[in-house]
Amino acid sequence: MNSRTRNTIRVVVAVVLFIPCALYIGWAVERSRRVHCEAVARHPDCVNNLRQIGLAFRVFAIDNGGRFPFNLSTKSGGTLELCQRGSDGFDSNAAIHFQLASNELSTPRLLVCPKDHSRKPAATFSLLTAVNVTYRLLTGTNITEGGPRQLLADCPIDGNKLYSDGSLMDSEGHAVAPFHSARLTWQTNRWLELPNVTPEERADLARKLTGKIKPAVEKWCKAYRNQVPFRPEALTLDSLKQRAEWDSSSYYYTFILDGTELAVRDSGGSVVVMFMYAPEAKQLTALPKEPAPDLHVPVAKGEVIQMVKSDSGLELKPQQVVIRPTGAATAVSGGAFVDIVPHGGDPNKDRRKIGLVFGANGNLIYYYRDPYL
């Protein structure tokens, strides 16, 4: 087999594997789903779509050493080899690049301009093709998140533009205010230091931490048999990296604990863990290892039912627990994707209540809880 044939096969295999990958990484979305949904509800317009796309590309870049999907080889989970410049200068494979950034986009609807009546949103990101995308994307090794500001995408209908640094320009050439998510305001560090809080605020935060947050996190760790990638005692004020206010009575706290991201919501005094992302979970967007992936799963349904009950109080029926091997579509071999779906249906269509990923040793490496659970 010559190297060209081999490369072609690699690309085909990568494309085929991206479909299940995209399905699976769909739920990584949930990290920022609520933020996106609320913003979309307020501004169902083209500029907002581009803003969300910009955010998705930036978060992808932050997670991948400053590289956009098309800067990264297919071997490393990117789409570099799939770049194809069309006669208009834009990439004719835009749908594939958007698909890869989709773990930070809440819905495929964002890829269709509201004024574009010739295109319909895809039902899921895994079904996305060119007919489901209005926006034109520029690709190339020279277009990077940290590099010089360049056009990244535009709307051929309105003329709105998105730049590589996340900034936006409307059709009249006016700059549009970026979306003020805390995640977009960082510059060089991934995490913001807590704003310069006063000593009184600091004392108040410390009280909340020991009085409410820490006990809730400890209970949660116990529900998952303490097989979590951080020590609950690492939860100190110094590990608190960000606090987001959702409304006057709800706060989201983000901690980095032994390298793991943990998000906790305090809603009117009721504290629950919403999200966890361990360093190992990064491999969930990488392709399976050769030769044959390990398709064993480290947890049984009965155990999951028990864990989720201790965590959330939900009484689950076996058909509401969907367990799939991670080795089939990612470089996490021997682990398990576990989805709690209320109607026992397809976890990619049915709204997930809780999403869990276990590593081969049974440790929890990813956690997501529906904000409306």
* Residues near Zn ion (CB under 5 A): 46, 113, 155, 157-158
Looking at beta carbons only, is 46 or 162 nearer to Zn ion?
46
Looking at beta carbons only, is 3 or 118 nearer to Zn ion?
118
Q: How far apart are CA 244 and CA 206, in angstroms?
A: 16
Q: How far is the CB of 48 from Zn ion (least distance, A)?
A: 10
Q: Alpha helix locations (H) across 313-367?
A: none
Looking at beta carbons only, is 23 or 155 nearer to Zn ion?
155
Q: How far is the CB of 154 from Zn ion (least distance, A)?
A: 9
Contact 25, 124 (CB under 8 A): no
Q: How far is the CB of 311 from Zn ion (least distance, A)?
A: 42
Looking at beta carbons only, is 160 or 326 nearer to Zn ion?
160
Looking at beta carbons only, is 113 or 322 nearer to Zn ion?
113
Q: How far is the CB of 160 from Zn ion (least distance, A)?
A: 6
Q: How far is the CB of 155 from Zn ion (least distance, A)?
A: 3
Looking at beta carbons only, is 53 or 235 nearer to Zn ion?
53
Q: How far is the CB of 114 from Zn ion (least distance, A)?
A: 7
Length of the chain: 373
Looking at beta carbons only, is 111 or 273 nearer to Zn ion?
111
Q: Alpha helix locations (H) across the chain?
A: 3-25, 30-42, 46-63, 94-100, 182-185, 199-208, 214-223, 301-312
Q: How far is the CB of 86 from Zn ion (least distance, A)?
A: 19
**3-state secondary structure (DSSP) of residue 142:** coil
**Which residues, 6+ apart, have CB-to-CB distance to 108 below 8 Å?**
102, 121, 122, 123, 124, 125, 128, 132
Evaluated on CA atoms 112, 114, 118, 121, the torsion sign reads positive
CA distances from 220 to 33, 43, 129, 310, 369 (A): 22, 36, 40, 8, 12
Contact 355, 340 (CB under 8 A): yes
Contact 192, 181 (CB under 8 A): no
Tokens 């108040």 label which residue?
Answer: 204
Cis upstream peptide for 291 (omega within 30°): yes
